[in-house]
Amino acid sequence: MSKVKDLSLIDEGMKELEWAEKNMPVLNAIRKRFEKELPFKNLRVSLALHLEKKTGQLIRTLRAGGATVRVASCNPLTTDDRVAAALTQFDGIEVFAWANQNTEEYYQNLNSVLDSKPNLLIDDGADLINIIHFKRQELIEHVIGASEETTTGIIRLKAMEKENALKFPITNANGAYSKHLFDNRFGTGQSALNAIMSITNSLIAGKNVVIVGYGWCGKGLAIRARGMGARTIVVEAGDRMPYADESEPSGWHKGLEALYEGFEVMSMDDAALIGDLFITVTGDKKVIDAKHIKKMKDGAMLANAGHFDLEIDINGLEKMAANVKEINENCQEYQMKDGKLIYLLSKGRLVNLARPAGQGHPLEIMDGSFAIQALALEFLAKNGKKLPIKVIDVPAGLDDYVARMALESHNIILQPLTEEQKEYLTGFNEGT
Ligand SMILES: NC(=O)c1ccc[n+]([C@@H]2O[C@H](COP(=O)([O-])OP(=O)(O)OC[C@H]3O[C@@H](n4cnc5c(N)ncnc54)[C@H](O)[C@@H]3O)[C@@H](O)[C@H]2O)c1
């Protein structure tokens, strides 16, 4: 039995779902095939995702494939109550989510989606998978596999794999090119700035915008902030991430890349002095801490687009403040003891997704990301029992299919390689 905020929002939610359906052609094509092939017949799927209209389309795609589906939100602030209400009207779909849950409600909802004893999971940030592994191990025997959506979740799951703690296979949806190249970069780039503009109604042009973390998301934010006329400053870590493979670039490589891309690059200590708007997107904690906030200019705005609300030291900010005032639902004004004002957007949670300002990534972006999730889940349903208990890549064929379909939705058809080219590219005899 679903638990949502307000069933009077069903009609509004249906309109949202309809709009998503009209603009998600790749997922629609997959849904048509699933209706015929029923890859999830007799399977129970549980999801923890930011619950809004695009997620609604994914859920309906899985349901069309024969699954019974339960969904909770992967973040206390990011549910669109209209869509949550509308989804309760579909047979075989149960929803346990609303905007502004407290921590207890958040975990209760995650547990409710697990009460169905799911066979397949989609998670975003790995909280759901974590509960099964460490608090509800009796459910493990029912699980064929799970698919994880975001960088932070994959880091947590790879750490579990390393400690031999993982109990079922995980597909790394975030690792698919059709996901992180577009979702993390162009999706976060557009949607985080969109939410910040909507919350503050202020101009990006002419501002010193500091992007902390120049990974996939940070690159997207930096190019879009520059495109809107900001003086864009990048902060990176003077270190190698402890979870990174040796083949991956370090923070120094990323800093140099940002510099050669034409951005200003500096330490957080220096950026703190000049920034007007700070956006953290590292997946790390306390990248803006109390000592940085102390140095900031009057009126500085702080936003986070990384997965958890740990990137900005909110406790430190609260301790330094003499007074806190709400400007609007997504903007708190902290008055420091010396009178300086600092603005925290969306309580330091994912600014592009925290309701009501955050609408999440654009439709076309989530079409690709959720097409990957739908295909990854089908792959798990077909092969799960044979797969190694590891974090595994989404097969390249599925990833290519999604990129090709997305290009074709823009009426762009690329030419395949000729047989002669294939022979040349796999041989070693032909040279100068
Ligand atoms: N807002 C969204 O919609 C959205 C979308 C995708 C991913 N995410 C989340 O955003 C975060 C970043 O994801 P990504 O894919 O860009 O990851 P990434 O690994 O590509 O990039 C993270 C970057 O942060 C840097 N970094 C880490 N610690 C730092 C520190 N102390 N100071 C400065 N830089 C530091 C790393 O060197 C790296 O370059 C993750 O938490 C991810 O889950 C959010």
**Domains of the chain, with CATH numbers?**
7-179+361-409 (3.40.50.1480), 185-348 (3.40.50.720)
Token pair, residue 412, equals 């762009």
Polymer length in residues for the chain: 432
- The strand pair at 341-345 and 331-336 is best described as antiparallel
Please, which residues bridge with residue 212 across strands? 235, 280
Q: Is the CB of 306 under 6 A from ligand 1?
A: yes
Return the sign of the alpha-carbon dihedral for residues 114, 118, 123, 127: positive
Q: Is the CB of 215 under 6 A from ligand 1?
A: yes
Whether the model clears a pTM of 0.75, i.e. scores above it, the answer is yes
- Return the residue whose CA atom lies nearest to atom 20 of ligand 1: 215
Q: Is the CB of 220 under 6 A from ligand 1?
A: no
pLDDT reported for residue 285: 98
- The strand pair at 170-172 and 145-148 is best described as parallel
Q: Omega before 76 cis (within 30°)?
A: no
H or E segment and range at residue 103: helix 103-114
CA distance 431 to 131: 57
Return the best residue to mutate from 184, 234, 235 for the ligand 1 pocket (most ligand atoms within 8 A of CB).
184
| Ligand 1: centre distance to CA 248 (Å) | 14
Return the sign of the alpha-carbon dihedral for residues 283, 350, 124, 377: negative
| Ligand 1: centre distance to CA 317 (Å) | 22
| Ligand 1: centre distance to CA 152 (Å) | 8
* Cα–Cα distance list, 39 to 145, 377, 384, 415 (Å): 14, 9, 13, 31
> pLDDT 10s per residue in the chain (432 long)?
999 999 999 999 999 999 999 999 999 999 999 999 999 999 999 999 999 999 999 999 999 999 999 999 999 999 999 999 999 999 999 999 999 999 999 999 999 999 999 999 999 999 999 999 999 999 999 999 999 999 999 999 999 999 999 999 999 999 999 999 999 999 999 999 999 999 999 999 999 999 999 999 999 999 999 999 999 999 999 999 999 999 999 999 999 999 999 999 999 999 999 999 999 999 999 999 999 999 999 999 999 999 999 999 999 999 999 999 999 999 999 999 999 999 999 999 999 999 889 999 999 999 999 999 999 999 999 998 899 999 999 999 999 999 999 999 999 999 999 999 999 999 999 888
CA distance 126 to 147: 9
Closest-lying ligand 1 atom to the alpha carbon of residue 153: 43
| Ligand 1: centre distance to CA 174 (Å) | 12
Q: Omega before 39 cis (within 30°)?
A: no
DSSP state of 366: H
| CA angle centred on 413, ends 410 and 416, rounded to 5° | 150
pLDDT reported for residue 431: 86
Q: Is the CB of 284 under 6 A from ligand 1?
A: yes
Closest-lying ligand 1 atom to the alpha carbon of residue 239: 37
- Return the residue whose CA atom lies nearest to atom 18 of ligand 1: 215
User: In 3-state terms, what secondary structure has residue 373?
Assistant: helix
DSSP state of 418: P
